[in-house]
Each structure stands twice: as C-alpha cells, then as structure tokens.
Amino acid sequence: MRQRRRHLLSIAHLTSEELARVVERAAWYALSAQAGEACPRVLDGMVVGTYFRKTSTRTRTAFSSAALRLGAQVIAYGPDDLQENTGETVEDTGRVLSRMLDGLVVRTAGPDKELAAYAAQDRMAVVNAMSESEHPTQAVADLATIQLLRGGLEGARVLYVGEGNNSAVALALALTRFKGTELRVVTPPGYGLPEAAERAARAYAEEAGSTFVCAHDLDRVSASTEFVYTTRWQTTGTSKADPDWRTVFDPFRVDEALMARCPDARFLHDLPAHRGEEVTAEVLDGPASVAFDQAENKLHSAAAVLDRCLTGES
C-alpha cells in the first residue's frame, strides 16, 4: 500500500508532541554526526524536489544535503524552471509533481495559499522552506540548537530582538509550547509579530505554562536570559514602506552592551547576517555566538523533517 505523506507548512500544524519529537530527532541526527556515525538511509529509492523561487544558502543546502545523506535523489528547480512561468496553475503543478516526487521542499516567500495548493494531495510531502508569513524549519533548527546546548527545552529563556518576521513567528509558535519557557519578543513599534501569530503564541503559552511577552523597548532585559536571538532586518523578499526605517531599528541592534546585560547568554542568528546592522561583528564573531552551530543544525533539522514527512519516523 502506498504510504500517505505528511506535510509541514506551519509549526501550528504540529501538535506539541509532534513538534517535540521532530526537535528530538534533529538533536539525535546532530549527536550522531558529532559521533562520526553515518546517516541511516531511510530515504533510499525516493526522489526529493527542491523548488526555491528566492535566494537561499543554508536552507537549500541543508535540505539537499540531508536528502542525499538519507539516500534520496534530488531534483533542483530554480525560479525560472517550471511552467508556472507560462501560466500553469500552482494546483496543476502540484498534481503533476506529486506523481513523480516523494517530497517537495518549497521556498516561495509568497502567500500561504501557494503552499496549500502544492499540498492539496497526499502522494508527495510538501515542506515550507520559508513563506511570507513563516519559516517553520528554521524554528526546528533553533529549538534543536537550544536543546543541544542546555540538554532540554523546558525552562529555556530567550530574548528575541528585531523585526517580527517569519523566523520570529515560527519561533513564537514553537518555543511557547514547552513548559516553563520564557520568550520575550522586542521589536520596533509597528514591526511586531502579526496579530494572529501573537494570539496563537499566547494561547500556546497559557496551555503549556510558559511565558510569552511582546514589547517595544529593551528596558526589561533579564540578566537570567540564556539566549539572545536576532535576524536580518531586511527579510528575504520583503521591503519596508518607511524610507527612514533604519533609524527606527537602530536602537534594537544587538551589541556588546546588550549582551553584557545577559552575561551568561548565548547569541543566536538565523543568518545571513549584516554586521553593523542588526548585530555587531564583535557579538557575531565573539565567544558567546553559536550562530554557525545553529546554521549547521539546519542540516540535522532538515534530516529530521524529511524523515518525518516522507517516512513517518519520529
């Protein structure tokens, strides 16, 4: 009997238990790699497509490398490769690809309805490699990084500074699921999380017994913060209406003074980074930074996501 594939379009589509299992699996892949163990060939005989309509270094490489290491073959599509450019609908494209591929990893930076159209079938797993509203696989890598560094997620205390973008949305929908965690999201006024994402994160926090705070100033930074996290101010595929937006963002730069207020905190960044804008070089390249370990964990998180979506393993 043909196996029904699973999609990962949003962190919100996972139960808390499913999310925990994917993060555990990502950490397991990371620890196996550190021990020099080869990846299990759980995708032998499968074919995974990667369709990136926007630029990508880490996510595209992570999913391509993970698929190959797990035994799959990979077909890569660029923004000009498919007949969508000549008028074929997303729905028809998805129906055709689902008869030829086992999985499709998609970066659109567009509306969620596009991903839903690709996923309107159960023959081919569809993975959101970043849409306009959310970057769910980034959150899996973020949580796996935190878990590996502290031995678990319960009670983790994270300060996110910067724009309430798609990475911040995914982080808020994910970390708040774990008991005793604290996530403080500090953004410039007018650049916070979308209302629906903030509302969902608050509901998760209430259910899990975690703390979720949104603010627009850095006055209440706690010295007990374990992780300070920022992202690039200009998210891929977006622009800002205010021509003077950089002035608004300047007070939210992560620098040595901010890190000194959280003396034991590690620094996270989803990369790419613009040194001197959202973070100073001294912080990104300093001893507290684990941003490049976090980037490596995108590979292990991609393996965990492909494992779950294509084989059902947890």
| pLDDT tens for the chain, residues 1 to 314 | 456 689 999 999 999 999 999 999 999 999 999 999 999 999 999 999 999 999 999 999 999 999 999 999 999 999 999 999 999 999 999 999 999 999 999 998 777 889 999 999 989 999 999 999 999 999 999 999 999 999 999 999 999 999 999 999 999 999 999 999 999 999 999 999 999 999 999 999 999 999 999 999 999 999 999 999 999 998 765 678 888 999 999 999 999 999 999 999 999 999 999 999 999 999 999 999 999 999 999 999 999 999 999 997 55
Cα 45 to Cα 52: distance, rounded to the nearest angstrom = 23
What are 286's two structure tokens? 């300093």
In a domain, 5, yes or no: no
- Number of separate domains in the chain: 2
Cα 190 to Cα 294: distance, rounded to the nearest angstrom = 28
Sign of CA dihedral 34, 35, 37, 42: negative
In this structure, the chain runs to a length of: 314
Cis link prior to 287 (omega < 30° from 0)?
Answer: no
What are 184's two structure tokens? 């403080």
87 and 222 inside one domain: no
In a domain, 130, yes or no: yes
Q: By CB neighbour count within 10 A (0-12 exposed, 13-18 middle, 19+ buried), where does 41 fall?
A: exposed
Q: What is the pLDDT of residue 235?
A: 74
Q: Measuring CA to CA, how many Å separate 66 from each of 63, 165, 176?
A: 5, 26, 27
115 and 161 inside one domain: no
Q: Is residue 52 within 8 Å of residue 129, measured between CB atoms?
A: yes
59 and 110 inside one domain: yes
Q: Is residue 94 within 8 Å of residue 121, measured between CB atoms?
A: yes
In a domain, 149, yes or no: yes
In a domain, 222, yes or no: yes
Q: What is the pLDDT of residue 77?
A: 97
In a domain, 1, yes or no: no
Going across the sheet that includes 125-128, the strands are 73-77, 47-52, 103-107, 125-128
Closest CA to 100 of 66, 82, 123: 123
118 and 149 inside one domain: no
146 and 100 inside one domain: no
Cα 144 to Cα 189: distance, rounded to the nearest angstrom = 30
In a domain, 2, yes or no: no
Closest CA to 29 of 266, 313, 297: 297
Q: What is the pLDDT of residue 236?
A: 63
In a domain, 118, yes or no: yes
Cis link prior to 272 (omega < 30° from 0)?
Answer: yes
Residue 145 sits in a domain of what CATH number?
A: 3.40.50.1370
281 and 302 inside one domain: no
Q: What is the pLDDT of residue 272?
A: 97
* Amino acid at site 204: Y
Cα 186 to Cα 274: distance, rounded to the nearest angstrom = 19
147 and 270 inside one domain: yes
Residue numbers of the domain that contains 47: 11-134+298-311
303 and 226 inside one domain: no
What are 147's two structure tokens? 């878990």
Cα 173 to Cα 16: distance, rounded to the nearest angstrom = 10
Cα 236 to Cα 232: distance, rounded to the nearest angstrom = 9
Write out the E strands in 58-143.
73-77, 103-107, 125-128
Q: What is the pLDDT of residue 1?
A: 42
